[in-house]
Structure 1
Amino acid sequence: MQRTIFTTPVVNALCRWLSLGYLKLAGWRVLGSLPPEAQRSVFIAAPHTSNWDLPYTLMVAFVLRLNVHWMGKASIFRFPFGGVMRWLGGISVDRSKANNLVAASANAISKARGALQLIVPPEGTRSKTRYWKTGFYHIAQTAQVPIVMAYMDYSRKISGLGPLFYPTGDLEADMRSIKAFYAPFKGKNAAQFQAD
């Protein structure tokens, strides 16, 4: 993986300090910590209902001292912002092409030197959707790493890391358990998030 803002020492320290200050002034609390066994992991990013989710997610990542990469639609990686988005940990996803994103993502996690957390929004969009995509599940299962249930609740101004989840292979039952965890959380545009 390429160098990102999270692996640039002086910039990382400055961004962490700024993130701590901004979140405190804005009334947000960051909860939880990343266990040692989840240094390489897949993060669920939910609820994902607003463009504001990205800057808040990055600030929370700085506060928790994470090394995150996140998936975003290819259009935000076009000139002139592509280089900046990749430096912020972004990985371009072209939803119009069929490709083996699961295998490539799992391989990147397995081959990473040191810690790497891959953030995947299960809704796959900020728009209202009833069905969650299961790519995050298959990436974690293929890479044999845990899923970290990360959350952001705008109604209570809390964000953080929930429990680890290890895929059992029973996708239907596992998705029910995962969605049950997310049911109480409210996104910025709460009506667009459905975890049932």
Structure 2
Amino acid sequence: MKKKVYQFIFQTIMGWRIDGKIDANLRKCVIIVVPHTSWHDFYVGVFTRGILQQQMNFVAKKELFVFPFGLYFKWMGGQPLNRVKNEGKVEAIARIFSEQEEFRLAIAPEGTRGKVDEWKTGFYFIAKEAGVPIVPVAFDYKNKVVKIFRPYMPTDDMEVDFSYLYSLYKDVEGRVSENSFNE
């Protein structure tokens, strides 16, 4: 029932479509969403998740997961990040992957809604440390399509990996087009 409501609003009213899918058997991955140019990306992601009927997660500092907001964050797929002494974020997030049976971490590699010339690398090192693939996703506002690309397992050549990932977003336009990522 909820899926039909999400589809009606997203596809019929808003005029968007989803091109591709995430295999239900892929229970752990890092989902990179590019470009991230507007707060509107949040609800595009929520509709996409609702239509795909798959859990997608995010991490935030544990202090945000207190009552009452903590209930909402957990319901939305949030996972509190509880770093122990001498542990970096990459290692802490990789540990979450090992503790969960299903964890699809959605992250915006640009790190901001503003214009950037290159991505932050945390998502890449999280995927490598956790031993999970990267699923590239594009929010293309110009064509009103969410493009879900095939999973990509990072290699030991970061330059080649980033070159490939950047190429997927070559003609994708975010809501704030001047902030869209173009290598």
TM-score (norm 2): 0.86
Aligned partner (choices 106, 110, 119) of residue 123 of structure 1: 110
3-state SS, counterpart of residue 150 of structure 1: strand
Which structure 2 segments of 5+ residues have no match? none
Partner of 2:31: 43
Task: Give 1:183 shift.
Answer: 1.4
Note if contact 2:29-2:133 (Cα within 8 Å) is conserved in structure 1: yes
Supply the RMSD in Å over aligned alpha carbons.
2.5
Q: Contact 2:18–2:145 (CA<8 Å) still a contact in 1?
A: yes
User: Counterpart in 1 of 2:5?
Assistant: 18
CA-CA distance at 1:91 after TM superposition: 4.6
Alignment match of 2:17 (pick from 11, 29, 33): 29
Match of 1:108 in 2: 96
Count of aligned positions = 179
Does residue 1:153 correspond to 2:140, yes or no?
yes
TM (norm. structure 1) is: 0.80
Q: Cα offset for 1:58?
A: 1.1
Aligned to 1:70: 58
Structure 1 regions of 5+ residues with no counterpart? 1-12
Cα deviation, residue 79, structure 1: 8.1
Contact 1:60 1:160 in 2 (8 A): no
Offset of 1:191 from its aligned partner? 0.8
Q: Which residue of 1 aligns with 2:73?
A: 85
C-alpha deviations, 1:117-154, integer Å up to 9, x for none? 10011001111111200111111111111100111100
> Are the aligned partners of 2:140 and 2:147 in contact in 1 as well (CA < 8 Å)?
no
Taking a change above 3 Å as real, the CA distance of residues 27 and 162 of structure 1, as seen in their structure-2 partners, is same
Following TM superposition, the consecutive aligned residue runs of length 4 or more in structure 1 with deviations greater than 3 angstroms are: 71-83, 90-93
Aligned residue runs from structure 1 range 174-185, under 5 A: 174-185=161-172
| % same residue | 31
Distance 1:108 1:132 in 2: 23
1:62-87 CA-partner distances (Å, limit 9, x unpaired): 11121111246899879874542342
Q: Is the 8 A contact 1:38 1:145 kept in 2?
A: no
Q: Is the CA contact 2:37–2:176 (under 8 Å) kept in the aligned structure 1?
A: yes
Amino acid of the residue matched to residue 99 of structure 2? K
